[in-house]
Structure 1
Amino acid sequence: MKANIGIGENHLQAVAEKLQVLLADEQVLYTKTRNYHWNVVGDNFAEMHAFYEGQYNELAEIVDEVAERIRMIGHYSSGRLVDFLKLTNLLEPEYTNVQSQQIKNLLDDHETIIRNLRELITEFSDKQKDLGTSDFVTGLMRQHEKMAWMLRSYITK
């Protein structure tokens, strides 16, 4: 049953398509962060292991919220890895256990998502007339800005 929430189906379809890309980005970033959690090494192993765990737990919540938002507006969420890899804006680099490279990779991904979210805020409100989803992605942007700040604090250059 389609959502009757005061937004035309063509607008909801456009929002859902953009959210599918966001969902793919969030899932790829979650997986990358989890991988780094598993494979981190160094004299600060315990700290970084816990740090990455905190970040991937937050990303797991975000993944769920994005998927549920897609459902709230009357569409089905992607859930297959093959679909996520087709839709994502993020790259999967070669494996690394070098902390500085892990942090840089994650920071780059958060900043890519932040830039995309910033565009979606106005697109959803102005073009698609969906203030609820615009507000939703504004909150996600703040979460990613905080996670990016935390990652950035580990970069000493």
Structure 2
Amino acid sequence: METTQATIGIEKNNRKAVVGMLRKLLADEYLLYTKLRNAHWNVEGIDFHTKHVFFEEEYNKIEKIVDEVAERIRMLGFYSPGTLGDFLELSHLKDTSPQKNDSASFMEQLLEDHNTIIKFIRKSINENAEEHNDEGTADFITGIMQVHEQMSWMLRASLKTF
């Protein structure tokens, strides 16, 4: 739903298409945030303390992204989704928990989620810039993708076995 006539040099139909993508991204980010909270609260094992702290640092990064994506939607003149039902309907991520509460199980699932988000963003960058004339959002989501790439790398390095 559009909130106001945003006269920022992007046609309404293009803004609407970009917002459709951002709504999905917001849902993915919120579901990932929830999964990181779950990992923080429920991780067990010999590495409990370090992973408890690690997951907290990670959910704080995603919490910031959630807010920024929702505000970007508002900047484009539309309302952000804001219910769990909306997020579950829009998200590309699976609403699941790992079978075990060890750090490796949580990290494997989180790695899959980060990779899903990275692929979605990568596909959306050119669509936003070239098809919808919104270089600002393309740049914005490129920065978000880089955060996810770093988080994915950290998980891959942590899961590596020798």
| Counterpart residue number, 2:32 | 29
Structure-to-structure mapping, 1:62-101, within 5 angstroms: 62-95=65-98, 96-101=100-105
Where does the alignment leave 5 or more consecutive residues of structure 2 unmatched?
none
% same residue? 49
Give 1:100 shift: 1.2
Whole-Å separation in 2 of the counterparts to 1:2 and 1:74 = 7
Whole-Å separation in 1 of the counterparts to 2:36 and 2:80 = 22
| Counterpart residue number, 1:59 | 62
Is 1:153 matched up with 2:157? yes
Where does the alignment leave 5 or more consecutive residues of structure 1 unmatched?
none
**TM-score (norm: length of structure 1):** 0.97
Give the AA of the match of 1:145: E
Whole-Å separation in 2 of the counterparts to 1:3 and 1:152 = 42
Give the AA of the match of 1:52: F
Give the AA of the match of 2:123: E
Is 1:41 matched up with 2:40? no
Match of 2:135 among 125, 131, 135: 131
Give 1:93 shift: 2.0
Whole-Å separation in 1 of the counterparts to 2:37 and 2:97 = 15
CA RMSD of aligned residues (A): 0.9
**TM-score (norm: length of structure 2):** 0.94
Give 1:144 shift: 0.4
